[in-house]
A = this chain, B = another copy of it.
Amino acid sequence: MSKVNLREKLSMFSEKWSPKVIAEMNDYQFKLVKIEGDFIWHDHSETDEVFIVLEGRMEIEFEDKVVELNEGEMYVVPKGVRHKPSAEFECKIMLVEPKGVINTGEADSNLRAPNDEWV
Residues of A within 8 A of B (CB): 1, 3-7, 22-26, 28, 30, 47-50, 67-69, 72-76, 78-79, 96-98
Contacts and interface: CB of A to CB of B under 8 A. Distances in A.
B26 A74 contact: no
A112 to B, nearest CB: 22
B72 A5 contact: yes
B74 A3 contact: yes
- Which of A5, A68, A75, A76 gathers most chain B CB within 10 Å? A76
B6 A76 contact: no
Instruction: Please list the 6 inter-chain residue pairs (A to B) with the smallest Cβ-Cβ separation, ordered nearest first.
Output: A25-B48, A6-B72, A3-B75, A4-B74, A25-B50, A5-B73
